[in-house]
Amino acid sequence: MNASIKAVRKLPAALRKSLTWDRGSELASHARFTVATDIKVYFCDPYSPWQRANEGHDGRVSVPLI
């Protein structure tokens, strides 16, 4: 989680508004992430990874942080 927080803090403010995450255990500490970064975290519905922002899907580009 610390690596994600550090990586996000390096992004321009325009890219630090929200994060949509799959329902995996990777972001179990999402509340701590939100407090540390002031980024709202949303989760996809179960078995619906297409709800994440992907390049070409909705015009936004998703960038892996780690």
At residue 2, the pLDDT reads 87
At residue 47, the pLDDT reads 79
Determine the average pLDDT of the residues in 25-36: 86
Tokens encoding 27:
């972001």
Q: What is the pTM of this model?
A: 0.64
Residue 59 three-state SS: coil
- Rg over alpha carbons for the chain, rounded to the nearest Å, is 12
